[in-house]
């Protein structure tokens, strides 16, 4: 087991590609600014840089070896400075597997080794094995499993242990995948990406002429323009649907021993592991398109993960599920959470504060628009009822519940969230009350959980003051003193 | 009704905050002087300088006099065996409970002005949040740091 192994040779190419990706901005700058002084030099320069990067990729592949020895994963690497990194298996939280398009023809996977506090590294993982065969990855996983169940000393008694129990909890159906993709709200992402992309090329596209023509064009037909805009949105939506479908193809949630394992993806296959012991809280999110149909998605806040790797801190374990099915699916596997809880809503008098807060943002915008566009600006007054409607939704979705050890907060930002927390996982609890809230006997509550390296949690505004105080006392370990 | 935490921060905090605010308003003063100079040079209408001076006065009143006073009056804390309770805020009163078992580390910090007045700031960090108690007497801050870190060590539970 102890002879050092290399990664698959494709790593050399992947290394080169990665370096190229990092160099793309300086490279563009070079092309744009360098082209003025003699084209031939910049071309030769470009080729030299490319070759160098490729050679560096090959050498860093040659230098990278890993082996399993004495219950540790031992990695040695480094082009000029030799570096050694030994990671004890007990410290490994999870192995995240993914397959990119370069991996698949060769049956390879990329393995990210996640440990409890890998904050120092850039990509968030303690170590990354860029490309190894699936059999190798399975072997490493097996060793990890054994160390976890038997401890390091017994690692040599490998063969005695049976296959880990595996139980599939959820597999996305084609219909659900379609619903998930079409209601994901990824449109915004696509549109902003397109805008960002277009603004990158403002030197190439003569915007001024385009806009000038556009102006005449606009004058010629408002209807036509709105049709174009509509088609643009439709296209963006279709792209986002396809993108989401690729990302979530074959989404499967499994329970293996004490881990939840998620696999998904068509082009890039990903596998994410959530150790059950690291769960900090559960969040149910319902966006406005899914809420009327009773669909929601479920996230787990996990103490693992890192700053750069938000996906392993707040893990989407069930992307689309009927709300009624959630508790049946999850309760056996995640202890101590009651997900079928009725929350106490905010009192009626809070509604006007919700609406007022919404208007506080909208009214200045409307005033500015009216000031500048006169009559057309008055259209912005339509924002008032719209904002009031949204505030009403926010008000309706605010709620809380405390039962035994569990605190449940529900609130709406853009999406309705319901966060389930256990007392001993809550990091801090805060009560907030402004002068105006005090007059109405209202208060806000804010609970913070650990999620990755940062915080997550819930915040509900304008609940009944005595309810908030109740939660506060419940969280206080010395509430008698707090009251005395 | 919940009672407030009992302990207040040092009264000298008020002086420190006022000094800091005065330093900041010095920049506004410069800006204000610049505007008045420009008004004179370019013959702008007089009301521009009047507004500038008014803004300066109002800012000084609020940030040097009023806000530090409210802030100090509001600031309360209490270190108990199992938790730390903080109360702060000028317009919005915020009360926070930090259980000792969640505390990861405690630091004390001292800027030049705080040092001159023999004060220090205590920072308490959990896995997800950071809390600050500003302007405690140095000995008290030191004591608190030792006390909290001792209590935090006792209660070592999984995150």
- Surface-to-core class of residue A466, CB atoms within 10 Å of its CB (0-12 exposed, 13-18 middle, 19+ buried): exposed
Same-domain pairing of B126 and B89? yes
Select the residue of B91, B94, B128 nearest A427 (Cβ to Cβ).
B128
Q: Give the per-residue pLDDT at B30.
A: 92
Same-domain pairing of B92 and B58? no
**A482:B102 CB<8 A:** no
Domain that holds residue B86: 77-154
- The fraction of chain A above a pLDDT of 70, given in percent, is 80
CATH of the domain at B94: 2.30.29.30
**B2:A472 CB<8 A:** yes
Strands (E), A118-258: 127-133, 166-171, 252-256
- Tens of pLDDT, residues A316-333: 889 888 888 888 888 888
**Is B63 among the domain residues?**
yes
Place of tokens 């997900």: A339
Distance CA A452, CA A455 (A): 7
Count the domains in chain B.
Answer: 2
- Tens of pLDDT, residues A469-483: 999 999 998 765 444
**B129:A456 CB<8 A:** no
3-state secondary structure of B134: strand
Contact (CB, 8 A) for A444 and A431: yes
Same-domain pairing of B63 and B89? no
Same-domain pairing of B90 and B67? no
**A434:B99 CB<8 A:** no
* Mean pLDDT score of chain A: 81
- Which of B32, B53, B72 is the last residue before a domain boundary? B72
Cα distance from B96 to chain A (closest Cα, Å)?
Answer: 4
Residue A208 — pLDDT band, cuts 50, 70, 90? low
**Is B141 among the domain residues?**
yes
Taking residues A13-21, what's their average pLDDT? 84
Most confident of A37-41, A161-165, A454-458: A454-458
Distance CA B116, CA B110 (A): 9
**Is B159 among the domain residues?**
no
Place of tokens 């030994």: A86
**Is B121 among the domain residues?**
yes
**Is B1 among the domain residues?**
no
Same-domain pairing of B83 and B147? yes
3-state secondary structure of B36: helix
The model's pTM is 0.77
How far apart, in Å, are the Cα atoms of A67 and each of A87, A106, A137, A199, A467? 11, 21, 12, 48, 57
Same-domain pairing of B91 and B132? yes
- ipTM of model: 0.85
Place of tokens 């008098």: A349
- Tens of pLDDT, residues B93-120: 999 999 998 888 889 989 899 999 999 9
**Is B6 among the domain residues?**
no
B-chain residue closest to A449, CA distance: B128
- CB neighbour list of residue A41: distance below 8 Å, 6 or more residues apart: A34
**Is B131 among the domain residues?**
yes
**Is B2 among the domain residues?**
no
Same-domain pairing of B87 and B147? yes
3-state secondary structure of A324: helix
Cα distance from A381 to chain B (closest Cα, Å)?
Answer: 30
Q: Give the per-residue pLDDT at A122.
A: 45
Q: Give the per-residue pLDDT at A307.
A: 44
Contact (CB, 8 A) for B119 and B16: yes
**Helices marked H in A64-161:** 134-150
Residue B80 has pLDDT above 70, yes or no: yes
Contact (CB, 8 A) for A76 and A83: yes
Distance CA A179, CA A171 (A): 14
């Amino acid at each position: 087991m102890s002879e050092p192994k290399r990664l698959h040779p494709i790593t050399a190419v992947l290394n080169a590609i990665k370096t190229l990706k990092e160099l793309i901005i300086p490279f563009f700058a070079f092309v744009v600014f360098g082209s003025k002084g003699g084209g031939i030099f910049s071309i030769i320069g470009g080729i030299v840089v490319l070759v160098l990067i490729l050679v560096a990729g090959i050498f860093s592949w040659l230098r990278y070896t890993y082996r399993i020895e004495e219950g540790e994963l031992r990695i040695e690497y480094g082009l000029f400075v030799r570096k050694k990194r030994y990671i004890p298996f007990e410290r490994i939280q999870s192995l995240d597997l993914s397959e990119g398009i370069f991996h698949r023809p060769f049956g390879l996977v990329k393995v990210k080794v996640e440990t409890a506090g890998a904050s120092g590294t850039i990509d968030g993982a303690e170590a990354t094995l860029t490309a190894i065969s699936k059999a190798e990855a399975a072997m490493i996983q097996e060793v990890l499993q054994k160390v976890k169940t038997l401890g390091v000393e017994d690692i040599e008694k490998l063969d005695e242990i049976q296959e880990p129990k595996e139980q599939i909890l959820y597999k996305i159906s084609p219909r659900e995948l379609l619903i998930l993709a079409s209601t994901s709200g990824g449109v915004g992402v696509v549109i902003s990406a397109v805008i960002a992309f277009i603004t990158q090329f403002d030197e190439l596209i003569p915007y001024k002429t385009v806009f000038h023509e556009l102006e005449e064009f606009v004058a010629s037909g408002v209807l036509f323009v709105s049709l174009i805009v509509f088609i643009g949105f439709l296209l963006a939506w279709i792209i986002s649907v396809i993108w989401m479908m690729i990302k979530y193809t074959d989404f499967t949630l499994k329970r293996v021993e004490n881990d939840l394992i998620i696999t998904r993806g068509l082009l890039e296959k990903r596998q994410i592991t959530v150790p059950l012991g690291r769960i900090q809280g559960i969040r149910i999110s319902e966006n406005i398109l899914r809420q009327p149909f009773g669909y929601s998605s479920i996230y787990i806040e996990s103490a693992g993960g890192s700053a750069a790797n938000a996906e392993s801190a707040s893990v989407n374990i069930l992307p689309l599920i009927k709300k009624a099915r959630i508790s049946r699916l999850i309760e056996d596997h995640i202890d101590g959470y009651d997900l079928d809880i009725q929350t106490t809503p905010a009192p009626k008098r809070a509604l006007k504060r919700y609406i007022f807060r919404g208007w506080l943002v909208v009214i200045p915008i409307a005033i500015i628009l009216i000031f500048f566009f006169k009559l057309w600006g008055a259209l912005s007054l339509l924002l008032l009822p719209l904002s009031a409607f949204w505030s009403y939704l926010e008000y309706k979705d605010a709620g809380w519940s405390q039962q035994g050890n569990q605190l449940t907060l529900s609130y709406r930002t853009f999406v309705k969230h319901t966060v389930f927390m256990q007392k001993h996982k809550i990091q801090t609890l805060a009560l907030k009350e402004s002068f105006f809230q005090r007059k109405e006997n209202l208060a806000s509550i804010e609970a913070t959980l650990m999620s990755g390296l940062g915080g997550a949690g819930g915040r509900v505004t304008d609940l009944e003051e005595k309810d908030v105080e109740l939660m506060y006392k419940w969280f206080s370990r010395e509430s008698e003193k707090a009251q005395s | 009704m919940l009672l407030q935490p009992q302990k207040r921060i040092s009264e000298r905090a008020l002086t420190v905050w006022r000094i800091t605010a005065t330093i900041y308003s010095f920049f506004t003063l410069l800006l204000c002087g610049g505007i008045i100079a420009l008004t004179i040079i370019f013959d702008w209408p007089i009301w521009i300088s009047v507004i500038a001076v008014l803004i300066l006065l109002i800012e000084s009143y609020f940030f040097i006099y009023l806000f530090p006073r409210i802030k100090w009056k509001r600031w309360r804390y209490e270190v108990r065996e199992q938790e730390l309770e903080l109360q702060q805020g000028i317009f919005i009163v915020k009360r926070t409970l930090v259980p000792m078992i969640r505390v990861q580390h405690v630091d004390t910090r001292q800027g030049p002005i705080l040092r001159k007045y023999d004060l220090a700031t205590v920072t308490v960090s959990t896995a997800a949040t950071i809390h600050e108690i500003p302007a405690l007497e140095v000995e008290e801050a030191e004591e608190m740091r030792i006390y909290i870190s001792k209590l935090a060590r006792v209660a070592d539970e999984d995150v």
